[in-house]
Amino acid sequence: MHSFTKEEQRRAGEQNYTILCIDDESVNLKVLASIFKDHYNIVVCKSAKQGFQLALHESPDIILLDVLMPEENGFELMEKLKQHPKLTDIPVIFITGLQDAEDEEKGLMMGACDYIQKPFNHGIVRARVNTHLEIVRQRNLLQKFALFDSLTELPNRRKWQQDSVDYWLSSKNAQSPMVYGIIDVDHFKKYNDHYGHQQGDVVLRKIANIVRRTLFEFGGAIFRCGGEEFYFYFPASQQCDAESKLATCLKSVEQLAIPHHAISAISASSHVSISIGAIQVIPNEKNSVEQVMQQADERLYIVKNSTRNAVSYLNLNVDEQQISLDIS
């Protein structure tokens, strides 16, 4: 049996990949497990039905799939995998005794990333699986970069669009209250003009880090969705609980005590501050994330055109009335 090269060992160590092997022959499963067990998590099963359930439960990084199996064959399972939104992107390699070109073409046309015929060479199987796992690694890196802001290392607007809807649906099903809102850094253009954009970037990172830690303690999340604008959400149990959490976010930035002398003539404070517009709501069929965020933006506008360094909070749940509470 061929051993892993140093480069392959490095790549394997970068992520603890999981390989799902599906074959009705125990000897084939043992051979495949022996090739990869020292470097990857190996999950094995002997039927397509069990394989489908394991794929849902384990979320493997790659699937090695036999074709000829009783009850349900590999082609039938492949069709089910590609139709399931959670499983459709998992790469599948057919490892089978079918050697006709038509069968290989069928497997590849169904979406398999490779097709290996039995009896197989251990080194070839190892090399092909590692090649496809490297593609998985690179794809994961691209997805990470696509969903995160490089300056603050916060998730970005695209990630917000995914996660906010997921949490909305989850909260709607559980009928649990959530707070959605927008944070804006006060007088940030003046800060950049006075101190320079490089120092402005430092300020954004500091604010992002402190608010992220604060919201994390509340079970929430924050996203950078504009230059100095951040979206957030967190679960809320009662009105006063949400108010105190929002006030804590405001206070956490005040405690950074970042000088902002460019506003000393127009503001009572000479430090960087934030303004927050927030909405508490129990998600339902009559509203949406977009509508709630529009209301949050309206609350933010109120603060930005008055005192700043404050929170404008609207609870849509209290006595089924819209109750506005300003915290400053």
- The CATH number linked to 271 is 3.30.70.270
Both 178 and 103 in a single domain?
no
Give the chain's mean pLDDT.
90
Domain-located, residue 262: yes
200 near 192, Cβ under 8 Å?
Answer: yes
Q: Of 72, 118, 78, 112, whose CA–CA distance to 98 is shortest?
A: 118
Q: What is the DSSP letter of 144?
A: H
Give the alpha-carbon dihedral of 260, 262, 267, 271, to 10 degrees. Answer: 0
Both 188 and 101 in a single domain?
no
Would the pTM of this model clear 0.85, i.e. be above it?
no
- φ, ψ at 251 (rounded to 5°): -65, -35
| Nearest-angstrom CA–CA distance, 12 and 20 | 16
pLDDT digits (tens, 9 = 90+) for 143-193: 888 999 999 999 999 999 999 999 999 999 999 999 999 999 999 999 999
Q: In the structure, what pLDDT confidence band is assigned to residue 141 with cuts at 50, 70 and 90?
A: confident
Check residues 164 and 265 and name the one with the higher pLDDT. 164
Query: Exactly one of 7, 105, 153, 228 is catalytic; which is it?
Result: 228
| Nearest-angstrom CA–CA distance, 253 and 207 | 6
Both 98 and 182 in a single domain?
no
Q: In the structure, what pLDDT confidence band is assigned to residue 138 with cuts at 50, 70 and 90?
A: very high
Q: Is 226 helix (H, G, I), strand (E, B) or coil?
A: coil
Query: Is 134 marked active-site?
Result: no
State the average pLDDT over residues 187-200.
95
Beta-bridged to residue 182, according to DSSP, are 231, 277
Quote the domain boundaries for residue 250: 157-327
179 near 233, Cβ under 8 Å?
Answer: yes
Q: In whole angstroms, how far apart are CA 101 and each of 75, 96, 109, 115, 301?
A: 15, 12, 12, 10, 65
171 near 281, Cβ under 8 Å?
Answer: no
pLDDT higher than 50, residue 319: no
Both 184 and 277 in a single domain?
yes
